[in-house]
Amino acid sequence: MLIRVVSVSGLMLLTGILVGRTLDAADTETWDGTIVQYGTMHEAIGEQQHQGRVQLNTLVERPHFFAVGALDKLEGEITILDNNVTVTRVDAARQLESGKGSALENQATLLIGAYVPSWAEHKVAENVEPDKCDQYLADVASKTGINTSKPFMFTVEGDFSKVKLHVINGACPMHARLKKIELPKERQPFEADLEKIHGTIVGVFAKDAVGKITHPSTSIHMHLLYKDAKSGRTVTAHVEQLGLLDGAVLRLPRSK
C-alpha cells in the first residue's frame, strides 16, 4: 500500500492507494492505515490561520468516520463518532452550547480522522493514571500489531478520572498558558476539572507530531463526549488530561 500526501491551499490529506488489485468485501472490514487531516495545530492556533478548510457534511458521505477537530475561527470543538457529529461552543455566560443549528453545516479549520470500519476491543484491567496514558495506548496498540510510529485513531468508553478539559472560544487556552498570553473576556474558554466522569473518548495517537496533530508533551489528541449536567445534552470538549478507570473499553482499529 502506498500512502500519498496531498497539500492544497492549507489542506493536508493522506490518501491510501491500493496497488495491483481491486477492493473486495474483506477489505471493508479493516482500516487501511489512511489518516485524513485538514490543517495543523501550528497553522490554526500558532499562526491564527483558522479559516474553514472542510465542510463537515462532506466527511460523513462515507460510513464509519471518526475524528477530532476545531471549528473555523476556533469557535468550538468538533467530535465525530461513527459519522455522528457533535459540535460544542461557549456561550456569552461561558457555558456550553451544543445542538444549535445543524452540526453538518459547520466547517473545521483543524480536523484529524479516519474511516474505520471495525474495531478490536481491549478492556482496561486496572486504573491508568493520566501521566501513563500515552505509554499505555502505545503498549496495547503495539501488542495488536499497530505501527505506533504512524498516527492511528482510538476510542475509549467508560469511566475516567482526574479529567481536565476545555472548549475553545476563539483561542486555545493551552497555547495561551504556554505563551503567557492573557485572553480577553470575550475569548475566555470553558474549562473544567472533573474528579470522575462517564463518557466516550475519540482520539488520535500520533508520535512526534507536536504542532501538527498534538499539543506539546503528549502523543495524544483526544476529545470527550459526555452529558452536560446543566443542559442534559451531549457535549464535547478537548481533553488536556485524564486517567482511565478499571473496566473502560479501549477500541483500536482492525487493520491490514
> In the predicted model, is pLDDT for residue 250 greater than 60?
yes
Give percent of the chain with pLDDT exceeding 90.
Answer: 81
Give the model's pLDDT for residue 182. 93
Residue range 199-218: mean pLDDT, rounded: 97
Task: For residue range 130-148, list pLDDT tens digits in order.
Answer: 999 999 999 999 999 999 9
> In the predicted model, is pLDDT for residue 1 greater than 70?
no
Pair (126, 249) in one structural domain: yes
Pair (209, 105) in one structural domain: no
What is the model's pTM? 0.88
In eight-state DSSP terms, residue 137 is H
Does 18 or 92 have the greater pLDDT score? 92
Q: Which domain holds residue 74?
A: 2-115
Give the E-state strand segments of the chain in sequence order: 2-8, 11-17, 36-38, 54-55, 65-71, 77-81, 84-90, 96-98, 107-115, 119-123, 152-167, 190-205, 220-227, 234-244, 249-253
Band (231; pLDDT cuts 50, 70, 90): confident
Pair (135, 248) in one structural domain: yes
Reading the block at residue 17, the C-alpha cell is 492507494
Domain boundary among 94, 115, 136: 115
Give the model's pLDDT for residue 99. 63
Query: What's the count of helices (H) and strands (E) in the chain, helices before strands?
Result: 4, 15
Residue range 160-187: mean pLDDT, rounded: 95
Task: For residue range 112-121, list pLDDT tens digits in order.
Answer: 999 999 999 9
- Give the chain's domain count: 2
Residue 2 has, within 13 A of its CA and on its CB side, a CA count of 8
Give the model's pLDDT for residue 28. 54
CATH assignment of the domain containing 70: 3.30.1330
